[in-house]
Chains A and B, each alone.
Chain A
């Protein structure tokens, strides 16, 4: 018995397992498929079902069947179609082979859908068969050993592979699983059986299998899947279908179930792909940048002889259809014509995937790779989506000309997509934390945890923040807390909505105090940072705008800086230069953490859970210590009160400080890079530390901490109440809570404790001391920030207005007054100095009361 036939026959025999058929002879292996196909043909021609592909044996075999077996070389030739023919049931779920064996209505009635994602380069591998005689012998001996057969070129034994996978489907339980798709699954039951049940109910014949699960279940099977996906996946299909139709024999599906593995463990960076990955199952992540129109790809061409009406089918071979030049039946040359509507097509789409910006080494341009999506996966992703793609990596040689043997020595590479997983699809719904979690290795976590136990961790981290900026310790600490953020609290079910967890910080102060530098640092540190300047950005640039895609004429919502920095930090430089309308969008963002858009018929609310780090310069270029914060930066107090911390970055004037500053700066200028690195924690560690804390630590208030917070709040209220002012509002309490939580996160602590509250209090007080001190009285006065004016100033203003009114009234019934005259009189009368501004303000106040009007240099009474 000639050996090569063993491969196909073994496959078939395994596929017919359970029928208990005799070991097939080569003849048996060769002839029945075509016959069967014919019969099958007749049963299903009516509805033009796609069928198991089989190459036109007749068209390609060089000789008759007798000659086939006479000499080995020729036989090898025939082995191609043979092998392929028989592998087709394997590939496409074996309906034909089960026709007799399994008379279940379910599987029989369900058509098979081709898997172009698996099959396209298949034959290239098969052809290898003839160049390698050794392998055949191996197979031969294998066969003689009985059923221990493997698919050629692999170590995959179909039968055992299928069995293993069925066992996996039936038994795999992962109670600890935390996938977002788990909703509605009973984690203590075999999960994939539940999935099959789902398929039965929903009718979507795709079974997604997490490779990680498979790996934990059977390491070897996993390895086979990774290495030989195009052999193993069809086997999986088969296994899944068998189980499915066993259970739900009456189920009606569009086509047979297709298994789609995903998460091939090592989610690779595009940059790491190398020639060894060719034809393997890989998962890579990236961003979709272009997608093509739908392309109908011919899978099988249908030719008809013009002379004798003989028909034949030609299957696609490496992207080309070989048109038969001679009619097999009547031997007429060039008589075969393509019949389009009897040929088979499948949907195909070309997609370009680009490396995600985070994966890229600095200074290089991103790589792109071509994906081919087939059938159902067409149009599943849009440009701009971040996806994880699982598929088979392919390399195809480029021929200069199909007829000339010159070959460009370069391969075209692409990925046949098997599974997509969008990484940002949940972003608009607000549960993306899980999917976006950065994966940390055990040891990295160890290092981070070790670090978190250090008593001075807070100081350490804050000093690692922008080390080139000297001192400003409290500001750095504040920003550090901002980077960690508070705990997210969701009270939507009680109708109170989300509570903001993000901390907003405003830096104001003299120009040249490295505010922008701090902002730049933060922007570079966090993965989702956005940096804009108040000067150049418009409301549209910050929020979102609607654009018409020039190609598809589709309306596309383009998101601006605030939405893009969702879950990150939006750094806004030159906050004071922002125009009023732009600033107004921040009101909603900073408290509600959402952004409402009503544009071009699109009405929606986007999440913008972003922390805002803003920097503002004083209006008169230098900070005027005689004025309040509001007066200095001229920002509406409604906005200011939304900042948790407002810091002044001023240039302190003291000798010791100057000295240290000088030393710091000089060291900047001559210390080598290495020295600097020794001194400070490096940026990646800091980044990891923050990322870890943000995603894994979610502290809650402890009893003592709540008590401490209450006390702190009451104390703050008390300070002012003595003088008849309010010095704290609930907003300040919220800020305190957020800060305390963030501080607990820094310690990796699940509980907010008193020390956290202490530090939060200290920072908050510190910031207040800087920004809310009434320059006239030197008292911390929160109303400067909440109402824009200190209580004393307001009082004084009222007094002055009253005095002015009295003065005017005392002048009797003159309808008009000279401006300058009035000002001088008031000055003379008042015991404190009255500036021109104060006078004007008082006039304005009276004008508001409809007491007078001011026109130019005259004051007219009403």
Chain B
């Protein structure tokens, strides 16, 4: 299909075509987006676009259309670029107009020069986001997302020698591509050397070398320190990317998850630029201070951090690949090019209750036979902050799972199971060392002018499992205290105060926190569930492993859809039920004014909400309310019991 290949492999030719047709007015920009929107709407077209998440950069063709699913980690300053520029051929005086959009380097032919003072030049503005893959993204979501690239990933994970037939051929092509790229600047250089008077001429061969190495995806020799790609979570891999956004960048925020379609730019010239600047820095006092550092961070080698020039960008509500990207009616209109099936929801709803039962059973097993805890775990997993009333986040449901066996691999396995169910998760081991030494709060590094990420910079709806069973007695230092406070703030207010040195800035977040602990956690939580294991498996490891292998992948997928979907449903309470709940509360207070407080009502309302949602109901019914009360009663009774036990022990 030459047509597909065209817009996919060489989008510039399309843009050039549209540009040439509409040149005097600025309509062409709109037309370009329209064109690609149309193209992507075609059936399964989105699947044709290679994803930077799955394919290593060096296997992708430069200047081709790619997609990238990522989180905005940092926003750089807006940059002004030449939207339209003119080149002049000094010999013939022929003038040609070019567009600078979607490009890093103003292109011009070997015989041409850019006329910087042309009246035709249009200066435009674009914004650069530093994007990283969604932190803590589960392995399954990548696999499901792009089956055709799955084999590919497993190959690249093995890494030693890419052995699929596909890879070498690709590699060869990209190699050629690079040579192509090299060819063209060097031609110009030759010209210059030919002109004789150039005292810089002697430097040229060296430069060619570095350029070539940059082109071949090695870390450039000038890069003395390895570049910190600034992933929020330790040990993350994946391509970080500089995403250049051309329109409505104000609507994007830090920590938003985006899916962008754009033109990949790994122009090796960018790396030369880099080197060039660094060479200069030795001489130029301007660069001495932090400019060099900033330069290093803001324009890293393109082979390491590729650029994407966005044609279409879209905020994702969720990152579960098993679900269509947008579920709301109105929103789906705006992103119809992604092939939505609104039917999807209703279909799934019909088989909701068996799925729920199965999930409950699965989790009950995982929690060693404790069905109450499993019930609460489901509620926790579908909780999400759906609104904020002044400062109060509504809908957060932090569960403290107490009574976990100490020093066993239990908590680790609980995390592994959650990891299997949610699209993004992270296990935070709350050891003294971790608290004292890791960076939780993102911090602005003014020298490099970037936001240095921290563990708590997570995308919405990430599951954060805090393992407090790991905590030993010991001394928390300054950082430790800060970290614990930040974690506490995150749980209570669902916000993280990023450290901007001279001031702090508040970033709201939406993170599901599950705390596993022996006794009551030192962190605040919305509800504490004490685990009562019914079975003690002799070999925990084996038990848990068999549990996971026993679940069919299709069932597992249903669980995943279930948890992601229910989070997005709307919910309301009818007047009638409101009355009943009111009565109930008054009654409860009458009977036991000491122990029933407004907090209890809050919590019970939350439980009722998630309970209804977990059954696929979007309004509260009387039965659900009673069931919620019952659950709360059971939970409290357990805590009471636990207190007594502890009391006796003391």
Shortest B82–chain A CB gap in Å is 5
Pick the contact of A405 from B77, B100, B104, B112 — CB < 8 Å? B112
B206 within 8 A of A: no
Shortest A524–chain B CB gap in Å is 6
Known: A400-B276, A411-B123. Contact between A655 and B586, CB under 8 A? yes
A569 to B197, CA, bound (A): 68
With CB as the reference atom, state the residue of chain A lying closest to B113: A405
A683 within 8 A of B: yes
A683 to B503, CA, bound (A): 22
Q: Are A292 and B106 in touch, CB under 8 angstroms?
A: no
With CB as the reference atom, state the residue of chain A lying closest to B121: A397
Which of A123-131, A477-485, A490-498, A607-615 participates in binding chain B? A123-131
With CB as the reference atom, state the residue of chain B lying closest to A466: B390
B493 within 8 A of A: yes
Q: Are A521 and B188 in touch, CB under 8 angstroms?
A: no
A369 within 8 A of B: yes
Shortest B269–chain A CB gap in Å is 6
Known: A352-B446, A352-B449, A367-B78. Contact between A407 and B105, CB under 8 A? yes
B354 within 8 A of A: no
A278 to B647, CA, bound (A): 73
Per-position 1/0 for B66-97, Cβ under 8 A of A: 00000000110111111001000000000000
Interface residues of B in 431-486 (CB under 8 A from A): 444, 446-447, 449, 451, 481, 485
With CB as the reference atom, state the residue of chain A lying closest to B112: A405
Known: A363-B507, A411-B80, A655-B586. Contact between A670 and B391, CB under 8 A? no
Pick the contact of B389 from A407, A468, A666 — CB < 8 Å? A468
Known: A365-B451, A408-B105. Contact between A128 and B117, CB under 8 A? yes
Per-position 1/0 for B113-126, Cβ under 8 A of A: 11111110001110
A467 to B290, CA, bound (A): 47
The CB with the most chain B CB atoms within 10 A, among A383, A408, A524, is that of A408
Contact residues in B for A287 (Cβ distance below 8 Å): 502
A663 to B585, CA, bound (A): 10
Pick the contact of A676 from B104, B389, B578, B601 — CB < 8 Å? B389
A38 within 8 A of B: no
Contact residues in A for B599 (Cβ distance below 8 Å): 512
Contact residues in B for A581 (Cβ distance below 8 Å): none
Shortest A807–chain B CB gap in Å is 37
A673 within 8 A of B: yes
A582 within 8 A of B: no
A367 to B288, CA, bound (A): 22
Per-position 1/0 for A378-415, Cβ under 8 A of B: 00000110000000000101101101111111110100
Pick the contact of A406 from B188, B198, B253, B582 — CB < 8 Å? B188
Per-position 1/0 for B576-598, Cβ under 8 A of A: 00100110011001100100011
- Count of chain A to chain B residue pairs whose CB atoms are closer than 8 Å in the complex: 205
Pick the contact of A403 from B81, B200, B285, B446 — CB < 8 Å? B200
With CB as the reference atom, state the residue of chain A lying closest to B272: A400
A411 to B121, CA, bound (A): 12
Known: A274-B125, A520-B493, A683-B390. Contact between A124 and B116, CB under 8 A? yes
Shortest B533–chain A CB gap in Å is 30
Q: Are B81 and A658 in touch, CB under 8 angstroms?
A: no
The CB with the most chain B CB atoms within 10 A, among A468, A662, A669, is that of A669
A819 within 8 A of B: no
B508 within 8 A of A: yes
* Interface SS majority for chain A: mixed
Shortest A808–chain B CB gap in Å is 38
Which of A222-230, A237-245, A354-362, A854-862 participates in binding chain B? A354-362
Shortest A649–chain B CB gap in Å is 11
Interface residues of A in 574-625 (CB under 8 A from B): none
B108 within 8 A of A: yes
With CB as the reference atom, state the residue of chain A lying closest to B101: A409
With CB as the reference atom, state the residue of chain A lying closest to B110: A405
Known: A293-B289, A665-B605, A670-B571. Contact between A409 and B105, CB under 8 A? yes
A813 within 8 A of B: no
B208 within 8 A of A: no
Pick the contact of B601 from A352, A366, A404, A661 — CB < 8 Å? A661
Interface residues of B in 557-573 (CB under 8 A from A): 571-573
B49 within 8 A of A: no
B540 within 8 A of A: no
Q: Are A410 and B79 in touch, CB under 8 angstroms?
A: yes
Number of interface residues of A (CB under 8 A): 79
B542 within 8 A of A: no
Pick the contact of A400 from B100, B269, B394, B606 — CB < 8 Å? B269
A325 within 8 A of B: yes
A128 to B115, CA, bound (A): 10
Q: Are B106 and A669 in touch, CB under 8 angstroms?
A: no
Per-position 1/0 for B483-495, Cβ under 8 A of A: 0010000001100
Contact residues in A for B481 (Cβ distance below 8 Å): 536
A361 to B506, CA, bound (A): 11
With CB as the reference atom, state the residue of chain B lying closest to A130: B117
Number of interface residues of B (CB under 8 A): 90
Contact residues in B for A292 (Cβ distance below 8 Å): 286, 288-289
B185 within 8 A of A: yes
Contact residues in A for B492 (Cβ distance below 8 Å): 516
Per-position 1/0 for A123-150, Cβ under 8 A of B: 0100110011000000000000000000
Known: A404-B185, A668-B389. Contact between A395 and B80, CB under 8 A? yes
Interface residues of B in 347-397 (CB under 8 A from A): 387, 389-392, 394
A662 to B583, CA, bound (A): 9
A403 to B202, CA, bound (A): 13
Shortest B226–chain A CB gap in Å is 24
Per-position 1/0 for A50-88, Cβ under 8 A of B: 000000000000000000000000000000000000000
Q: Are A410 and B500 in touch, CB under 8 angstroms?
A: no
Q: Are A368 and B105 in touch, CB under 8 angstroms?
A: no
B609 within 8 A of A: yes
Q: Are A670 and B572 in touch, CB under 8 angstroms?
A: yes
Interface residues of A in 665-698 (CB under 8 A from B): 665-670, 673, 676, 683
Q: Are A131 and B118 in touch, CB under 8 angstroms?
A: yes
A395 to B116, CA, bound (A): 12
Contact residues in B for A360 (Cβ distance below 8 Å): 505
Contact residues in A for B501 (Cβ distance below 8 Å): 289
Q: Are B500 and A366 in touch, CB under 8 angstroms?
A: yes
Known: A368-B77, A517-B392, A536-B481. Contact between A409 and B100, CB under 8 A? yes
Shortest A275–chain B CB gap in Å is 4
Q: Are B597 and A512 in touch, CB under 8 angstroms?
A: yes
Q: Are B582 and A409 in touch, CB under 8 angstroms?
A: no
With CB as the reference atom, state the residue of chain B lying closest to A124: B117
A132 to B118, CA, bound (A): 9
A265 within 8 A of B: no
Q: Are B285 and A128 in touch, CB under 8 angstroms?
A: no
Q: Are B269 and A406 in touch, CB under 8 angstroms?
A: yes
With CB as the reference atom, state the residue of chain A lying closest to B619: A670
Q: Are B105 and A658 in touch, CB under 8 angstroms?
A: no
A514 to B597, CA, bound (A): 12
Pick the contact of B387 from A127, A273, A673 — CB < 8 Å? A673
B189 within 8 A of A: yes
Can you list 8 A-B contacts with CB-CB less than 8 angstroms, sorted by A residue number?
A360-B505, A395-B80, A400-B105, A404-B192, A411-B123, A658-B586, A662-B581, A665-B605
**Which 10 residue pairs are nearest across A and B when measured between Cβ atoms?**
A363-B253, A468-B389, A275-B123, A409-B106, A662-B585, A409-B100, A520-B391, A411-B80, A662-B582, A670-B573
Q: Beyond A407-B116, A411-B82, A521-B391: 15 further Cβ-contacts under 8 Å?
A: A352-B446, A365-B451, A366-B500, A366-B505, A367-B78, A403-B192, A404-B185, A409-B104, A411-B123, A468-B392, A470-B598, A517-B392, A520-B493, A533-B485, A666-B578
Residues of A participating in the B interface, judged by any CB pair closer than 8 Å: 124, 127-128, 131-132, 273-275, 278, 287, 289-290, 292-293, 295-296, 325, 350, 352, 357, 360-369, 383-384, 395, 397-398, 400-401, 403-411, 413, 466-468, 470, 510, 512-514, 516-517, 520-521, 524, 533, 536, 651, 653, 655, 658-659, 661-663, 665-670, 673, 676, 683
